[in-house]
């Protein structure tokens, strides 16, 4: 390690070598900046790190086999030609090619995509399933033309597969293509005044219809969820039929969940999906209920709220139910079973929001808004108290943000360690947090424990040298 | 860093460019020209000549000089366009084994991709001479309106030429790329590209973060300067017939001269109001008699002859803008590309249509190649970080399949952003049916027969079951090159169906392989030839320089045995070299060059001088 560090300087050229797991955020961030051959100095600049620190991180990555030195510093480089070009496409194509089944079975292909970008693609791809056209472009429904255009162009540069031309992307290529296709479809609707108006109208209609149906359903058959669900299926079938008629070519199913006709609004969030719209629908429902209640003075407030809460829960609008119960808590804290109910609903709600939070967190990270990312990650950890990765990431973010929140970082790292006591990277992170906090003795003590368990671990060894060396 | 070149493979002129230290630039050929005529000729000795050299000898070798091959690429022999071309070109077009087109030049048949490959090889060479090392990768442009068969044939040309075409991009898109590159602008632009053989128009959005998005594109891959020339030729031929009752078209040499004269007149009329067309001895009448052709043509007359062509382009522009959903007022910049946009009537028509003058400072002959080079550098990650760009292009034609009644059912509509894919399910329509036949078309006409057949395939080995029970999912895909692929999956068994493909045009795999090998062999032979020529020259020069010293040696050292012996030895070596030259024996020539050098030093040594 020491030799490695001695070998590296700001002019060193780095190149990707292989995939490694077990990276903390800083390592992953550095790795994500290496595309083709990159000068270490420029990476340090981009990360806002002192060169020494970048050297150290790079050395770790080299040791882990994630990076290699592209060529000795200050050497002229004309050797690296053709290092990462894609598979040569010499298969002969007559106008129509034979089935490509083989590509699916090629098995474990090494993927040249850094962990951060992977996470971004994954979360965006997942979010597509239930997102509205606005959400796909990360826009609010009142975005103006300029914002829509900017968003589309910004995101295209992030997700168009050409930005990773020649890289082995495995399944990520298709995911990126799908994301790009969906974004383009969204842009094509939202960027045309007429089509956007049509879409907005339909989106509104569908929401309203879903809402009305929910209200009616609960009055008609309050205790027959089975039947109600049946109804939903019927309604959805009708809706689907309408969409198809509105679409261009009825028989055509777009690729992976792609838009198949012009201006097709996404589902109005009738069920637990479409979290963004769920919120809107919920607000509307509450408003409606409020107005009904105000016209009906016979209801005692708490009874009415409890009924509403029950109805909301039955219809799987858990967040709304939770809000109702919170209101009850304020009015009648002794309501029987309140405590348990609240716990149960809290758990359900956070779990349901996790996917949304992850997308949000990815967006914050992408934009470099660490503080916001940390807040969101905290909520993710609440919702997923057993998720090691989430805790580890949260801790890293707390440590990295400006100014760092080392206490929170330590708490989350400790929780992560509880969950996965053996993982070295977590323990190293803890040591670093202690060191950052100026608790050098603690840090070294922890580190020594770690070294006792893993005397061979290079990172730990390096860290120890660093800590000892840093001592005056 | 591996260099990648950008090539504008034009109907009339081709051009090659690179991005050098972050700045795109065109590479001039050996003659110092930035564009190379897209002409290929086969000489009497079977040698290929390309570019300016081919153009220079066109009149005397008209039947074996190919121009405008791009108008034939990827087309079927029995298409209207090929028929039209056959009537007007002096070289001979015959039907190929796959219903495609072959050219018969000096009794050898060449496919169009082979001819295009000769051009690509030449441009590759131009770049290599400039760069001083081999080039293996290229981005090549095609007219936006090219269909899949034409794109595929262009890719084949690259393969034959030993160039990996890593991406095919559309010409107007490339032009916009080079226009917006490094400018950091947010604009909506219209690109009007009228070249030698094709017309394209595209509407693009350029964003300051380096994203170039094509909104819509349209064109006519058989409308260009050629057709303007043709109007003039028709006028000349008819006039001549009225006067002399002779059809000049029947004489290939006369036709070639008419063509040259028509193009020259057209070009001149872009700056002059009137020009003379003067073709003495245009046709011989037997004996010593010959007829001459002499007429004058004014700009107004030319415009009168060709206004319908210009009108056609404007109608297409109108349609494209409509497709884009934009208002004329929303277009910020108008970019003119292609040699034909130098014609004042064309400039006027486009300016009138859009209500906006074209942008200045765009070089109509070079922007396309520059754009291709930029895209190449972008894909390989060779651009500066603040200049990184992405191109979002669209497919210019609807991709569909034939359904009952001979109609087309569209699967991927035109102006869909690529890459893209759509899946469609097919079911059996008869009880016990075990195969499904699918015909894939590209084009925007409602009836299948009016569109381009890309291919047909049969899904076979389906389970025999009642009608409608077996389902097959077929995925149609258009990649970033605009090239189509089709995959099928049998939903009944969940297994991928291997589909039987029948090539409908172009080259078969074996042909492509053979042609690639032939091109390599030719390149090797040519290299040896070149070496032999140089070796011969070196040897002859050295021989001459030795022989020049003989009289001096004789007068200075007359009679000395030593000198005599040396001269004899020298003569012996010269004799050997001469015989090697006569035999064309390259290895021996190279060997004797060394010996000759030694002999020369020896003789100089006799004279007390050093080499
Ligand atoms: N000054 C001029 N006035 C009129 N026409 C001209 C002038 N200069 C060139 N042309 C015409 O422009 C055409 C060639 O244009 P260009 O070189 O752009 O075509 P190309 O790129 O080879 O063709 P394409 O793009 O269609 O494949 C020829 O028909 C030529 O006669
Ligand atoms: Mg051109």
Q: What pLDDT does residue A7 have?
A: 73
Residue-wise pLDDT for B544-572, tens only, equals 988 888 888 878 777 777 778 888 888 89
Ligand 1 atom with least separation from CA of B199: 26
Q: Could you tell me if A237 and A96 lie in one domain? A: yes
Predicted confidence (pLDDT) at residue A133 exceeds the cutoff of 60: yes
Buried b (16+ CB within 10 A) or exposed e, B202-220: bbbbbbebbbbbbbbbbbb
CB distance B574 to B546 below 8 Å = yes
Exposed / middle / buried, residue B521 (Cβ in 10 Å: 0-12, 13-18, 19+) = exposed
Residue A194 makes CB contacts below 8 A (sequence gap 6+) with none
Predicted confidence (pLDDT) at residue A114 exceeds the cutoff of 50: yes
Q: Return the sign of the alpha-carbon dihedral for residues B64, B69, B71, B76.
A: positive
Provide the β-strand partners of residue B202: B191, B217
Q: What pLDDT does residue B476 have?
A: 87
Residue B568: how many other CB atoms lie within 10 Å: 10
Mean local confidence (pLDDT), A270-276? 39
Least confident among A404-418, B151-165, B548-562: B548-562
Check if A248 contacts B (Cβ < 8 Å): yes
Is residue A363 one of the residues assigned to a domain?
Answer: no
Check if B425 contacts A (Cβ < 8 Å): yes
**Residue B501 Cα, gap to closest chain A Cα (Å):** 6
Least confident among A381-385, B84-88, B326-330, B597-601: A381-385
CB distance B201 to B214 below 8 Å = no
Q: Could you tell me if A130 and A199 lie in one domain? A: yes
Predicted confidence (pLDDT) at residue B231 exceeds the cutoff of 80: yes
Q: Which residue has a Cα nearest atom 28 of ligand 1?
A: B196
Exposed / middle / buried, residue B235 (Cβ in 10 Å: 0-12, 13-18, 19+) = middle
CB distance B193 to B371 below 8 Å = no
Q: Taking the CA of residue B233 as centre, how many other CA atoms within 13 Å lie in the half-sphere pointing to its CB? A: 21
- pLDDT tier, B437 (very low <50, low <70, confident <90, very high otherwise): confident
Check if A79 contacts B (Cβ < 8 Å): no
3-state SS, residue B290: strand
CB distance A370 to A356 below 8 Å = no
Nearest to A100 among B381, B391, B487 (CB): B487
Residue-wise pLDDT for B120-146, tens only, equals 999 999 999 999 999 999 999 999 999
3-state SS, residue B377: helix
Q: What pLDDT does residue A45 have?
A: 63
Question: Residue B512's closest chain A neighbor by CA?
Answer: A92
Q: Could you tell me if A225 and A276 lie in one domain? A: no
- Integer-rounded Cα radius of gyration of chain A: 27
Q: Could you tell me if A242 and A100 lie in one domain? A: yes
Distances in Å between the alpha carbon of A136 and those of A152, A298, A363, B497? 9, 45, 12, 34
Q: Which of A232, A266, A294 is the last residue of a domain?
A: A294
Residue linked to tokens 């258009």: B478
Residue-wise pLDDT for B190-226, tens only, equals 999 999 999 999 999 999 999 999 999 999 988 999 9
Least confident among A256-270, B54-68, B80-94, B567-581: A256-270
3-state SS, residue B67: strand
Q: Distance (Å, rounded) from C-alpha A357 to C-alpha A350? A: 9
**Residue B372 Cα, gap to closest chain A Cα (Å):** 15
Residue-wise pLDDT for B42-87, tens only, equals 999 888 999 999 999 998 899 999 999 999 999 999 999 999 999 8
CB distance B150 to B130 below 8 Å = no
- Which one of B171, B200, B263, B365 is the catalytic residue? B171
Q: What pLDDT does residue A22 have?
A: 65
Percentage of chain B lying above the pLDDT 90 cut = 57
Is residue A322 one of the residues assigned to a domain?
Answer: no
Distances in Å between the alpha carbon of A201 and those of A237, A258, A317? 20, 21, 24
Q: Which element (helix H / strand E) includes B274?
A: strand B274-284
Count how many residues are written for chain A: 472
From ligand 1's centre to the CA of A36, what distance in Å?
40
To the query of whether residue B70 is one of the catalytic residues in this protein, the response is: yes
Return the best residue to mutate from B196, B259, B366 for the ligand 1 pocket (most ligand atoms within 8 A of CB).
B196
Q: Could you tell me if A260 and A240 lie in one domain? A: no
**What own/partner pairs with CB < 8 Å and gap ≥ 24 does B28-37 have?**
B28/B126, B28/B130, B29/B126, B30/B126, B30/B129, B34/B365, B34/B366, B35/B10, B35/B365, B35/B366, B36/B119, B36/B122, B36/B123, B36/B126, B37/B12, B37/B13, B37/B67
Q: Residue A411 belongs to a domain with what CATH number? A: 1.25.40.10
Q: Could you tell me if A148 and A223 lie in one domain? A: yes
Q: What pLDDT does residue A109 have?
A: 61
List, as one string, the DSSP characters of B564-604. Answer: HHHHHHHHHHHHHHHHHHHHT-HHHHHHHHHHHHHHHHHHH
Provide the β-strand partners of residue B472: B426, B490
To the query of whether residue B193 is one of the catalytic residues in this protein, the response is: yes
Least confident among B343-352, B387-396, B477-486: B477-486
Buried b (16+ CB within 10 A) or exposed e, A156-169: bbbbbbbbbbbbeb
CA terminus-to-terminus distance, chain B? 41
Check if A257 contacts B (Cβ < 8 Å): no
Check if A282 contacts B (Cβ < 8 Å): no
Q: What pLDDT does residue B499 have?
A: 60
ipTM score assigned to the predicted complex = 0.81
CB distance A166 to A86 below 8 Å = yes
Nearest to A252 among B205, B424, B487 (CB): B424
Which residues numbered 332-391 in B keep a CB inside 8 Å of some CB on A?
A: 378-381, 388, 390-391
Question: Residue B74's closest chain A neighbor by CA?
Answer: A95
| A32 Rama sector, left if φ>0, alpha if ψ -120 to 50, beta otherwise | alpha
Is residue A305 one of the residues assigned to a domain?
Answer: no
Residues with CB under 6 A from ligand 1: B 10-13, 38, 70, 171, 195-198, 224-225, 263, 266-267, 270, 338-340, 342-343, 365
Biggest CA-to-CA distance, chain B: 110
Is residue A321 one of the residues assigned to a domain?
Answer: no
Residue-wise pLDDT for A327-374, tens only, equals 777 777 788 888 888 888 877 877 777 777 777 788 778 777 888 888
Q: What pLDDT does residue B4 have?
A: 96
**Residue A38 Cα, gap to closest chain B Cα (Å):** 11
Q: What pLDDT does residue A211 have?
A: 59
Q: Could you tell me if A412 and A459 lie in one domain? A: yes
Is residue A268 one of the residues assigned to a domain?
Answer: yes
To the query of whether residue B585 is one of the catalytic residues in this protein, the response is: no
Q: What is the DSSP letter of B447?
A: B
Q: What pLDDT does residue A287 have?
A: 52
Least confident among A375-379, B310-314, B336-340, B580-584: A375-379
Across chain B, what does the average pLDDT equal?
90
Mean local confidence (pLDDT), B250-272? 92
List, as one string, the DSSP characters of B498-535. Answer: P-EEE--SS--HHHHHHHHHHHHHHHHHHHHHHHHHHH
Predicted confidence (pLDDT) at residue B466 exceeds the cutoff of 90: no
Q: Which residue ranges form the domains of chain B, and what is each CATH number?
A: 4-224+307-392 (3.30.420.40), 225-306 (3.90.640.10), 399-501 (2.60.34.10), 509-606 (1.20.140)
Residue B65 makes CB contacts below 8 A (sequence gap 6+) with B39, B40, B41, B54, B57, B58, B90, B91, B256
Q: Could you tell me if A175 and A130 lie in one domain? A: yes
Q: What pLDDT does residue A53 have?
A: 76
Predicted confidence (pLDDT) at residue B395 exceeds the cutoff of 70: yes
Which residues numbered 109-148 in B keep a CB inside 8 Å of some CB on A?
A: 148
Q: What is the DSSP letter of B175?
A: H
Torsions phi, psi of A110, nearest 5? -75, 130
Mean local confidence (pLDDT), A259-281? 41
Q: Which residue has a Cα nearest atom 12 of ligand 1?
A: B339
Is residue A333 one of the residues assigned to a domain?
Answer: no
Q: What pLDDT does residue A48 have?
A: 61
Q: Which of A219, A250, A281 is the last residue of a domain?
A: A250
Residue-wise pLDDT for A413-425, tens only, equals 999 988 988 888 8
Q: Could you tell me if A448 and A406 lie in one domain? A: yes
Nearest to A96 among B164, B480, B485 (CB): B485
> Which tokens hold the place of A71?
């060529």
Report which of A90, A89, A98, A100 is spatially closest to residue B503, judged by C-alpha positions. Answer: A98
Question: Residue A251's closest chain B neighbor by CA?
Answer: B424
Q: Which ligand is nearest to the CA of B69?
A: 1
Biggest CA-to-CA distance, chain A: 87
Q: Return the sign of the alpha-carbon dihedral for residues A237, A242, A245, A250.
A: negative
- pLDDT tier, A472 (very low <50, low <70, confident <90, very high otherwise): very low
Residue-wise pLDDT for B352-390, tens only, equals 999 999 998 889 999 999 999 999 999 999 998 888 899
Q: Could you tell me if A187 and A200 lie in one domain? A: yes
Of residues A274 and A234, more confidence is placed in: A234
Return the best residue to mutate from B340, B346, B349, B367 for the ligand 1 pocket (most ligand atoms within 8 A of CB).
B340
Q: Could you tell me if A195 and A100 lie in one domain? A: yes
Q: Distance (Å, rounded) from C-alpha A150 to C-alpha A28? A: 28
Residue B108: how many other CB atoms lie within 10 Å: 11
Predicted confidence (pLDDT) at residue A220 exceeds the cutoff of 70: no
Range of the domain at A132: 81-250
Question: Residue B382's closest chain A neighbor by CA?
Answer: A36
Mean local confidence (pLDDT), A275-296? 46
How many domains does chain A contain in total?
A: 3
Is residue A138 one of the residues assigned to a domain?
Answer: yes
**Residue A6 Cα, gap to closest chain B Cα (Å):** 27
From ligand 2's centre to the CA of B225, what distance in Å?
10
To the query of whether residue B431 is one of the catalytic residues in this protein, the response is: no
Q: What pLDDT does residue B74 have?
A: 93
Across chain A, what does the average pLDDT equal?
70
CA terminus-to-terminus distance, chain A? 21
Q: What pLDDT does residue B341 have?
A: 96
Which residues numbered 17-46 in A keep a CB inside 8 Å of some CB on B?
A: 35-36
Q: Which residue has a Cα nearest atom 20 of ligand 1?
A: B10
Q: Distance (Å, rounded) from C-alpha B470 to C-alpha B74? A: 36
- Which one of B100, B122, B148, B193 is the catalytic residue? B193
Residue B91: how many other CB atoms lie within 10 Å: 25
Ligand 1 atom with least separation from CA of B35: 17
Q: What pLDDT does residue A243 have?
A: 35
Q: Which of A294, A320, A353 is the last residue of a domain?
A: A294
Q: What is the DSSP letter of B91?
A: S
Cβ distance A258 to B422 less than 8 Å, yes or no, reads yes
Least confident among A158-172, A200-214, A455-469, B482-496: A200-214
- Report the interhelical angle of A145-159 vs A115-128 (nearest 10°): 130
Mean local confidence (pLDDT), A228-255? 37
> Which tokens hold the place of A343?
């716990």
Check if A184 contacts B (Cβ < 8 Å): yes
Residue linked to tokens 């075409």: B165
CB distance A357 to A383 below 8 Å = yes
Residue B481: how many other CB atoms lie within 10 Å: 22
Cβ distance B421 to A95 less than 8 Å, yes or no, reads no
Q: What pLDDT does residue B192 have?
A: 97
> Which tokens hold the place of B149?
């068969």
Q: Distance (Å, rounded) from C-alpha A265 to C-alpha A283? A: 20
From ligand 2's centre to the CA of B585, what distance in Å?
44
- HEC secondary structure over chain A: CHHHHHHCCCCCEEEECCCCCCCCHHHHHHHHHCCCEEEHHHHHHHHCCCHHHHHHHHHHHHHHCCEEECCCCCCCCCCCCCCCCCCCCCCCCCCCCCCCHHHHHCCCCCCCCCHHHHHHHHHHHHHHCCCCHHHHCCCCCCCCHHHHHHHHHHHHHHHCHHHHCCCCCCHHHHHHHHHHHHHHHHHHHHCCHHHHHHHHHHHHHHHHHHHHHHHHHHHHCCCCHHHHHHHHHHHHHHHHHHHHHHCCCCCEEEHHHCCCCCCCCCCCCCCCCCHHHHHHHHHHHHHHHHHHHHCCCCCCHHHHHHHHHHHHHHCCCHHHHHHHHHHHHHHCCCCCCHHHHHHHHHHHHHHHHHHHHHHHHHHHHHCCCHHHHHHHHHHHHHHCCCCHHHHHHHHHHHHHCCCCCHHHHHHHHHHHHHHCCCCHHHHHHHHHHHHHCCCHHHHHHHHHHHHHHCCCCHHHHHHHHHHHHHCC
Provide the β-strand partners of residue A39: A13
Q: Distance (Å, rounded) from C-alpha B180 to C-alpha A196? A: 28
Q: What pLDDT does residue B373 have?
A: 97
- Integer-rounded Cα radius of gyration of chain B: 30
Q: Could you tell me if A283 and A264 lie in one domain? A: yes
Q: Which ligand is nearest to the CA of B14?
A: 1
Predicted confidence (pLDDT) at residue B110 exceeds the cutoff of 90: yes
Is residue A314 one of the residues assigned to a domain?
Answer: no
Ligand 1 atom with least separation from CA of B14: 22
Percentage of chain A lying above the pLDDT 70 cut = 65
Exposed / middle / buried, residue B356 (Cβ in 10 Å: 0-12, 13-18, 19+) = middle
From ligand 1's centre to the CA of B21, what distance in Å?
30
């Amino acid at each position: 390690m020491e030799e490695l560090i001695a070998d590296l300087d700001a002019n060193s050229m780095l190149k990707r070598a292989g995939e490694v797991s077990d990276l903390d955020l800083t390592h992953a961030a550095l790795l994500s900046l290496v595309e083709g051959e990159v000068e270490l100095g420029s990476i340090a600049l981009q990360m806002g790190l002192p060169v020494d620190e970048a050297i150290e991180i790079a050395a770790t990555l080299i040791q882990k086999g994630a990076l290699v030195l592209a060529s000795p510093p200050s050497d002229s480089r004309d050797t690296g030609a053709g290092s990462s070009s894609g598979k040569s496409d010499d298969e002969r194509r007559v106008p129509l090619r034979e089935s490509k089944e083989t590509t699916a079975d090629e098995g474990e292909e090494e993927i040249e995509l850094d962990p951060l970008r992977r996470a971004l693609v994954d979360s965006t791809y997942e979010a597509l399933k239930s997102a509205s056209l606005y959400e796909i472009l990360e826009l609010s429904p009142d975005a103006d033309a300029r914002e829509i255009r900017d968003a589309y162009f910004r995101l295209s540069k992030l997700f168009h597969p050409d930005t990773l031309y020649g890289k082995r992307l495995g399944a990520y290529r298709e995911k990126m293509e799908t994301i790009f296709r969906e974004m383009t479809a969204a842009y094509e609707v939202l960027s045309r005044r007429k089509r956007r108006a049509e879409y907005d109208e339909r989106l509104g209609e569908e929401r309203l219809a879903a809402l009305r149906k929910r209200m009616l359903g609960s009055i008609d058959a309050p205790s027959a969820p089975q039947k109600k669900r049946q109804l939903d299926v019927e309604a959805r079938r009708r809706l689907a039929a309408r969409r198809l008629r509105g679409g261009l070519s009825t028989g055509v199913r777009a690729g992976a969940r792609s838009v198949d006709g012009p201006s097709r609004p996404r589902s109005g969030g009738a069920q637990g999906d479409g979290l963004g719209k769920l919120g809107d629908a919920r607000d509307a429902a509450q408003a409606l209920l409020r107005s009904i209640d105000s016209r009906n003075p016979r209801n005692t407030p708490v009874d009415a709220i409890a009924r509403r809460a029950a109805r909301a829960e039955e219809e799987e609008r858990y967040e709304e139910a939770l809000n109702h119960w919170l209101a009850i808590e304020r009015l009648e804290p002794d309501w029987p079973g309140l405590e348990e109910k609240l716990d149960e609903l809290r758990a359900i709600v956070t779990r349901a929001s996790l996917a949304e939070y992850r997308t949000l967190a990815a967006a914050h990270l992408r934009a470099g808004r660490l503080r916001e990312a940390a807040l969101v990650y905290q909520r993710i950890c609440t919702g997923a108290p057993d998720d090691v990765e989430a805790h580890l990431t949260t801790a890293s973010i707390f440590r990295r943000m400006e100014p760092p929140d080392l206490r929170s970082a330590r708490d989350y790292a400790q929780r992560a360690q509880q969950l996965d006591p053996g993982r070295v990277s977590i323990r190293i992170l803890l040591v670093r947090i202690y060191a950052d906090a100026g608790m050098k003795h603690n840090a070294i003590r922890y580190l020594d424990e770690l070294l006792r368990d893993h005397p061979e671990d290079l990172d730990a060894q390096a860290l120890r040298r660093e800590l000892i060396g840093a001592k005056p | 860093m591996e260099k990648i070149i950008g090539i504008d493979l034009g109907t009339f002129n081709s051009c090659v460019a690179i991005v050098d230290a972050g700045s795109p630039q065109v590479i001039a050929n050996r003659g110092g020209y930035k564009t190379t005529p897209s002409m290929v000729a086969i000489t009497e000795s079977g040698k290929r000549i390309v570019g300016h050299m081919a153009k220079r000898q066109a009149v005397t070798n008209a039947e074996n000089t190919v121009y405008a091959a791009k108008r034939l690429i990827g087309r079927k022999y029995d298409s209207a366009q090929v028929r039209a071309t056959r009537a007007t070109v002096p070289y001979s077009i015959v039907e190929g084994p796959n219903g495609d087109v072959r050219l018969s030049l000096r009794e050898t048949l060449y496919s169009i991709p082979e001819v295009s490959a000769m051009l690509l090889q030449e441009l590759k060479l131009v770049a290599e001479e400039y760069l001083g090392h081999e080039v293996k990768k290229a981005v090549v442009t095609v007219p936006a309106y090219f269909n899949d068969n034409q794109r595929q044939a262009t890719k084949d040309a690259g393969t034959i030429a030993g160039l990996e075409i890593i991406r095919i991009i559309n010409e107007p898109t490339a032009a916009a790329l080079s226009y917006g590159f490094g400018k950091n602008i947010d604009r909506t632009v219209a690109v009007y590209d009228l070249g030698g053989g094709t017309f394209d128009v595209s509407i693009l959005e350029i964003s300051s973060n380096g994203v170039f998005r094509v909104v819509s594109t349209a064109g006519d891959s058989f409308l260009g300067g050629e057709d303007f020339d043709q109007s003039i030729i028709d006028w000349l031929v008819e006039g001549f017939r009225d006067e002399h009752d002779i059809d000049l078209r029947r004489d290939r040499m006369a036709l070639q001269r008419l063509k040259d004269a028509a193009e020259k007149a057209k070009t001149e009329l872009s700056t002059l109001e009137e020009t003379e067309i003067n073709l003495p001895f245009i046709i011989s009448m037997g004996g010593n008699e010959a007829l001459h052709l002499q007429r004058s043509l004014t700009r107004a007359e030319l415009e009168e002859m060709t206004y319908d062509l210009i009108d056609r382009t404007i109608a297409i522009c109108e349609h494209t803008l409509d497709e884009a959903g934009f208002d004329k007022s929303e277009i910020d910049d108008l970019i003119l590309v292609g040699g034909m946009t130098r014609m004042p009537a064309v400039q006027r028509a486009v300016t009138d249509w859009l209500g906006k003058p074209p942008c200045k400072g765009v070089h109509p002959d070079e922007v396309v190649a520059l754009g291709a080079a930029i895209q190449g550098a972008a894909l390989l990650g060779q651009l500066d970080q603040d200049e990184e760009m992405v191109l979002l292009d669209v497919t210019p034609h609807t991709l569909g399949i034939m359904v009952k009644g001979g109609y087309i059912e569209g699967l991927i509509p035109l102006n869909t952003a690529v890459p893209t894919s759509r899946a469609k399910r097919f079911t059996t329509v008869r009880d016990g049916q075990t195969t499904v036949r699918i015909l894939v078309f590209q084009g925007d006409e409602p009836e299948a027969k009016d569109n381009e057949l890309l291919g047909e395939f049969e899904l076979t080995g389906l389970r025999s079951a009642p009608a409608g029970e077996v389902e097959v999912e077929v995925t149609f895909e258009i990649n970033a090159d605009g090239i189509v692929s089709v995959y099928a999956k049998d939903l009944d068994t969940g297994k991928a169906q291997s589909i039987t493909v029948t090539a409908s045009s172009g080259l078969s795999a074996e042909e492509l392989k053979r042609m690639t090998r032939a091109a390599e062999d030719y390149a090797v032979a040519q290299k040896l030839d070149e070496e032999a020529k140089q070796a011969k020259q070196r040897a002859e020069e050295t021989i001459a320089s030795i022989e020049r010293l003989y009289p001096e040696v004789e007068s200075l050292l007359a009679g000395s045995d030593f000198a005599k012996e040396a001269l004899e030895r020298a003569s012996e070596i010269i004799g050997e070299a001469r015989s090697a030259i006569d035999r064309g024996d390259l290895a021996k020539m190279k060997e004797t060059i060394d010996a000759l050098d030694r002999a020369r030093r020896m003789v100089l040594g006799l004279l007390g001088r050093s080499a």
